[in-house]
Amino acid sequence: MAAIENSEVKLLGVWVSPFVIRVGIALNLKEVQYEFLEEQFGTKSELLLKSNPVYKKIPVLIHHGKPISESMIIVQYIDDIWAQSASALMPTDTYDKAMHRFWTAYFDDKFYNSLFGLVTTATEETKVEAVEQIMTVLLHLEEAFAKMSKGKPFFGGDTIKYLDIAVGSFLGWMRAAEEIMCVKLLDDARLPLLCAWAENFCNNEAVRTVIPETAKFVEFGKILQAKFKSGPPPAK
């Protein structure tokens, strides 16, 4: 299917944000052309403050002049608006849909602070604690994947769906954290299903163009280490 041309679709964000990456992946999967409006990290433009006056955070999708905020709300919006384009991003089965929403909510609640706490940690004790918290989340997702994938490559089965996007958007940062902190998070021995899933996810054409190379995350992560020694930066 040819890409959908839509000059009225704009994505406001920064390249390093996994939450912005989520939206880029969803737009690519739906073959929607869009304009990326790059924010400067650590500042809030007038457009951002106008578009998201409540949370004042990226990402923001602007469609025909109307702003939509919060990454997974945006993903759902994209799925609804471009329902006839490519595969659905949310399962049609009611139970499967509930499971995607449940595990996405769990992941967002537990994973972000732990991962960026690891990258910005100042002591060996906090490093060990962060790794333990991360592994708890990943082990739960390994079990969830075994049930939800039904032997297929993704949480959503044959195609990338809602939960795949939510978790997969963090793969660049996971690999960077492994390199920066000399730890192993995606371990084939402990997480064989997630490791195979991660490879399939990152090899997808819609994903490859959105997630930057690990080296770029590593470089940025080292900047964060110097800047945020007391904890993770504010969620974007």
Q: Nearest 5°: phi and psi at 183?
A: -130, 165
Q: Do 74 and 173 belong together in one domain?
A: no
Among residues 81, 105, 139, the one where a domain terminates is 81
Q: Are residues 130 and 203 in the same domain?
A: yes
Residue 147 lies in a domain: yes
Cβ atoms of residues 55 and 69 within 8 Å:
yes
85 three-class SS: coil
pLDDT, tens digit, for every residue of 41-82?
889 999 999 999 999 999 999 999 999 999 999 999 999 999
Indicate if 113 and 68 belong to the same structural domain.
Answer: no
Instruction: Tell whether 64 is covered by a domain.
Output: yes
Same domain as 185, residue 119: yes
Query: Which residues, 6+ apart, have CB-to-CB distance to 30 below 8 Å?
Result: 4, 78, 79, 82, 85, 86, 89
Task: Say if residue 114 is in the same domain as residue 183.
Answer: yes
Q: Does residue 86 sit within a domain?
A: no
Q: What is the pLDDT of residues 141-199, one digit of tens each?
A: 999 999 999 999 999 999 999 999 999 999 999 999 999 999 999 999 999 999 999 99
- Residue 131 within a domain: yes
Q: Are 126 and 183 within one domain?
A: yes
Q: Whole-model pTM? A: 0.93
Domain range for 136 is: 94-227
pLDDT at 226 over 90: no
Q: Which of 46, 81, 116 is the last residue of a domain?
A: 81
Q: Are residues 118 and 68 in the same domain?
A: no
- Quick one: 114 and 219 in the same domain? yes
> What CATH number does residue 50 fall under?
3.40.30.10
pLDDT reported for residue 3:
55
- Report the number of distinct structural domains present in the chain: 2
